[in-house]
Amino acid sequence: MTVKLKITAIKPYPVWVGIRNQMLVKVETDGGIFGWGESGLSGREKAVAATVEHYREFLIGRDAMQIGRIWQELYRSQYFEGGRVLQAAISAIDIALHDIKGKALGVPVYELLGGKQREKIPTFASTGDEAEGDAAIERAIELRDEGWQAIRFFPAGQSSRDVFEPRESIGATAAMLNKAREALGGDVVLGIDYHHRLSVAEAASFCNKLERGVLDFLEEPIRDETPGAYGALRKMTDIPFAIGEEFASKWQFLPYIEQDLHQLNRIDVCNVGGLTEAMKVAGWSEAHYVDLMPHNPLGPVCTAATIHFGAAVANFAWLETRAPEVKLGFDNSDFFPVQPRLDGTEYPVSDLPGLGVEVNEDAIAAQSFHFWEAPHLRRRDGSVTNW
């Protein structure tokens, strides 16, 4: 059966949901079928919205079913190809096109990706940005008792909106994690997200302060621009690395996968180039025995797209969920009346056509965008450091 649907409109919606903006994109067709996508470039949503508007000018009239061809045209249609802003816009459009195609064919998106390999998507939960020391350990115990077998901590000083001193953080954080492992036992998977705030030397020092076997993964200890720096750190510790959430293409993943620098892939379907690009990275990762641990701190559209992705790939570990952190408000039911919901610590895989998400367009259209900045951190000497 051949189905053709012409794109008639593409609408970017940067809207405030909970404590952050979400960058949603709606793609409409002449058959009355529409799809929703989401961009992952938090804090720079207006740049993504403007890029979507540029792409809209030549996408109107295109066949929405030709997802792979459209991806190539979006990527190759400018001399200055790639980059995080352009790829975030491509991601949102690509996800929306998968939503459209699934609805047009009457199948869930995972069927477009090769079919379902698992019925439920396991998740990991986090202790929260504000919890430190004993409070973080107590929260981890609560999460374990609620059923989570994979739990992520944040470092001491994570919640600061002003000063962050890495050397002050690593000692306190290592002590907390050593204590947490003793309290939680050996069966729970424990990790920590250092949010690329350390240097190679600081990250190595942190790892050396941990007792052997405490951590199952170390997420984003340093920035990603220089793969060789991760190569140097890899030689200094045997703790598995979980990295890749900010990677914006298969090419950015290339040195990390080919040089076996990481063991858990924090791929973000809303940053990497959508489901089209994510599936390519997934197969490449499988060839190097790298498991997928997708980044998912955004909204229900991102969650739904990642669930379908997780259902369709073999090499899957856990999906990030912020659902236990209810104060964040990312899953506002007024905006998203139909959305993925946790069943215990797992997401059921929706069998609804498309993504299986409904968006209240009138509600989000009436919701204003708020300028939001991540904390601009400094060290005690006044110099700028990473958030």
Active site residues: 195, 295
**DSSP letter for each residue of 315-377:** SB--EE--TT-GGG-TT-TTT-SB----BTTEEEPP-SSBT--B--HHHHHTSPP--------
The set of residues, in sequence order, having a beta carbon less than 8 Å from that of 326 and lying 6+ positions away, is none
Please report, for residues 168, 253, 275, the alpha-carbon distance to residue 265 in angstroms, rounded to integers and kept in the order given: 28, 9, 15
- Asked whether the beta carbons of 192 and 219 are under 8 A apart, the reply is yes
- Asked whether the beta carbons of 256 and 280 are under 8 A apart, the reply is no
In this structure, the number of other CB atoms found within 10 A of the CB of residue 233 comes to 22
* Distance (Å, whole) CA 74 – CA 69: 9
- Asked whether the beta carbons of 281 and 231 are under 8 A apart, the reply is no
Q: In the structure encoding, which two tokens stand for residue 339, read together?
A: 């959305």
DSSP secondary structure letter of residue 183: H
- Asked whether the beta carbons of 356 and 101 are under 8 A apart, the reply is no
Q: How far apart, in Å, do the first and last CA atoms of the chain sit? A: 50
H-type helices in the chain, by residue range?
45-59, 67-76, 84-105, 109-112, 133-145, 166-184, 200-208, 227-234, 250-258, 274-287, 300-312, 361-365
- What is the separation of C-alpha 316 from the centre of its chain, rounded to a whole number of angstroms? 14
Strand-pair category, 291-292 with 264-265: parallel
